[in-house]
């Protein structure tokens, strides 16, 4: 990044960090410049805790998945001792990529395709063909932690402490299982997706189906919740509406133990940088956003249900999945429009509106971090 770009960015990021009434939205370069993405990959995605999945994604010994993170590849697996571990997907001999598949089961050794070194699931060397050497170093571990059964990894050693998630124990997250998953590729910067998720100012025009279900102004009736690593807030369901679904009705029971109050609200949290977590009375919606390019993001969306709901004869997530698929696509179209504008010579950072306090909180978190990396 040139000195000129850094200086201009620093001034614009300072404007985003001002108190809410005077703050300005993020500058165009953070949505468009390859140098900014490279800085984010090195200093943000490469150094912070990132949600890569859930423990329930790899329930049995030998289950695994791989994730592309900040230009790297990471293997997350469950070992023979049932421990979940993460390793760089790199052979200790001459550096070959080890596993190509995005996920799989039944792994009992990791076999390098190049010269057939093999590794146990705890990362230790199992066999080196043609050598009696048993002392060679094992796979390089990646820092891993779990919170509410979400698996977080941090590529940087030593890692910073993992910030707390919002207090959502009542939603029984560790007990929930995925009942629907869809992966999208959005032609927009990852932060536009987080910003869009953080406000419902756009909802009356963009989401007629959502506007029928949810009281769009109720978010201001309860304060935003913020923590070091997250922000978010509730939106109230309209009278007679039971959950977010095309019909507005629940097709699975509520999550056991929730209060009558929780039956009337849907919560939307951004867990920085890239996990979007939304508890509903009867299921939990998650998104994770992974930058592919300044103007391209992969978004994985899941609906999590109680195991009782999933086991019911005729379990069918369609009413909820179709609603969120429709809403997602409406949102992606808006994010893509914002991306087009960010690429224009006519783009100027704008003011935040009162319903965009969570956007400002996210942007300020980001701007402070990027400024520290310049
Ligand atoms: S690079 Fe893996 S065994 Fe040689
Ligand atoms: Fe939206």
| pLDDT tens, residue by residue, 59-80 | 999 999 999 999 999 999 999 9
Q: Which of 312, 304, 227 is nearest to 269 (CA)?
A: 227
Distance (angstroms) between ligand 1 centre and the Cα of 125 equals 12
Which of 117, 118, 127 has most ligand 1 atoms within 8 Å of CB, for mutation?
A: 117
**Of ligand 1's atoms, which has the minimum distance to the CA of residue 92?**
2
Percent of the chain with pLDDT over 70: 98
Residue nearest to atom 3 of ligand 1 (CA): 115
Please state, in angstroms and rounded to a whole number, the distance separating the CA atoms of residues 50 and 45. 7
* Mean of the per-residue pLDDT values of the chain: 95
pLDDT tens string 97-142:
999 999 999 999 999 999 999 999 999 999 999 987 767 789 999 9
Name beta bridge partners: 75: 66, 87
**Of ligand 1's atoms, which has the minimum distance to the CA of residue 96?**
1
In CATH, the number for domain 172-373 is 3.90.380.10
Burial of residue 161, with CB atoms counted within 10 A of its CB: 0-12 exposed, 13-18 middle, 19 or more buried: exposed
Neighbours of ion ligand 2 (CB under 5 A): 331
What is the token pair recorded at 11? 């001034």
Model-level pTM greater than 0.85? yes
Residue 220 scores a pLDDT above 60: no
pLDDT tens string 20-39:
999 999 999 999 999 999 99
Of 20-29, 43-52, 224-233, 312-321, least confident by mean pLDDT is 224-233
**Mean pLDDT (whole number) for 328-355:** 97
**Under DSSP, is residue 51 helix (H, G, I), strand (E, B) or coil?**
strand
**Mean pLDDT (whole number) for 226-249:** 94
Distance (angstroms) between ligand 2 centre and the Cα of 186 equals 14
Which of 88, 115, 138 has most ligand 1 atoms within 8 Å of CB, for mutation?
A: 115
Domain chopping of the chain, boundaries:
60-141, 172-373
**Mean pLDDT (whole number) for 230-253:** 95
Superfamily in which the 60-141 domain is placed by CATH? Rieske [2Fe-2S] iron-sulphur domain (2.102.10.10)
Q: Which of 39, 31, 141 is nearest to 84 (CA)?
A: 141
Residue 219 scores a pLDDT above 80: no
Give the binding-site residues of ligand 1, using a 6 Å CB cut-off. Answer: 91, 93-94, 96, 112, 114-115, 117
**Of ligand 1's atoms, which has the minimum distance to the CA of residue 112?**
2
């Amino acid at each position: 990044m040139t000195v000129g770009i850094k200086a201009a960015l620093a001034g614009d990021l300072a404007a985003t960090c001002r108190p809410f009434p005077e703050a300005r939205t993020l500058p165009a370069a953070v949505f468009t410049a390859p140098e900014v993405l490279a800085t984010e990959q090195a200093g943000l995605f490469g150094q912070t805790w990132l949600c890569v999945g859930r423990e329930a994604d790899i329930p049995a010994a030998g289950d695994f998945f791989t994730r592309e993170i900040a230009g790297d590849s990471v293997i997350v697996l469950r070992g023979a001792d049932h421990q979940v571990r993460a390793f760089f997907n790199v052979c200790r001999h001459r550096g070959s990529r080890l596993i190509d598949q995005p996920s799989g089961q039944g792994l009992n050794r990791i076999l390098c395709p190049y010269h057939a070194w093999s590794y146990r699931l705890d990362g230790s060397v199992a066999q080196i063909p043609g050598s009696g050497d048993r002392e060679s170093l094992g796979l390089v571990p990646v820092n891993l932690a779990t919170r509410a059964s979400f698996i977080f990894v941090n590529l940087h050693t030593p890692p910073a402490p993992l910030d707390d998630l919002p207090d959502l124990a009542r939603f029984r997250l560790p007990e929930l299982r995925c009942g629907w998953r869809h992966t999208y590729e959005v032609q927009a910067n990852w932060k536009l997706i987080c910003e869009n998720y953080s406000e419902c100012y756009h909802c009356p025009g963009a989401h007629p189906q959502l506007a029928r279900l949810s009281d769009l102004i109720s978010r201001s009736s309860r304060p935003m919740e913020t923590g070091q690593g997250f922000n978010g807030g509730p939106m109230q369901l309209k009278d007679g509406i039971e959950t977010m679904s095309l019909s507005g009705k629940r097709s699975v029971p509520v999550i056991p133990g929730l209060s009558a109050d929780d039956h009337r609200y849907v919560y939307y949290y951004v867990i920085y940088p890239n996990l979007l977590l939304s508890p509903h009375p009867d299921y939990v919606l998650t998104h994770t956003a992974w930058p592919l390019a300044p103007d391209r993001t992969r978004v994985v969306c899941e609906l999590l249900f109680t195991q009782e709901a999933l086991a019911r004869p005729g379990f069918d997530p369609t009413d909820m999945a179709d609603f969120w698929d429709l809403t997602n696509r409406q949102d992606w179209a808006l994010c893509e429009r914002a991306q087009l504008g960010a690429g224009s010579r006519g783009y100027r950072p704008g003011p935040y509106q009162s319903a965009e306090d969570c956007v400002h909180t996210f942007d300020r978190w980001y701007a402070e971090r990027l400024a520290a990396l310049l």
